[in-house]
Amino acid sequence: QVQLVESGGGLVQAGGSLRLSCAASGRIFNINTMGWYRQAPGQRRESVAYIIMNNGYTMYADTVKGRFTIARDNAKDTVYLQMDNLKPDDTAVYYCNARLRELRLLQYRDDYWGQGTQVTVSS
């Protein structure tokens, strides 16, 4: 069974920083991409950033470009999200997502999710 375990959320004032981590574990053959989504109360879940694990290519939502940085550690099957200059609009539950292939499967799936971590930015 594959698990994604997140850490690093919390409460911070506007302009502050937080760093989220997400570690994948289990019987994994290969991870294609890992990324972060967020969902604010009453809002749809939206993509924040993702990274291609084998080459480090990254993509960001326009709302976080220049403030958030996604990075990976392939040896640890871990992805990080450094969030700087946080704004109250960044308040949400942040979820880690992975597209990967398990050892027991022949195909990749992209429906692996972490449990979510709350990020609250006060004004």
Q: What is the mean pLDDT of residues 70-80?
A: 97
Q: 10, 23, 122, 19: which is closest to 74 by C-alpha? A: 23
CA distance 53 to 76: 11
Q: DSSP for 92-123, please give it.
A: EEEEEEEEEEETT-SS-EEEEE---EEEEEE-
Q: Model confidence over 6-65: pLDDT tens digits? A: 999 999 999 999 999 999 999 999 999 999 999 999 999 999 999 999 999 999 999 999
Amino acid at position 61, single letter: A
Give me the half-sphere count of Cα atoms (radius 13 Å) on the Cβ side of residue 45.
Answer: 10
Q: What is the pLDDT of residue 13?
A: 98
Q: What is the pLDDT of residue 111?
A: 95
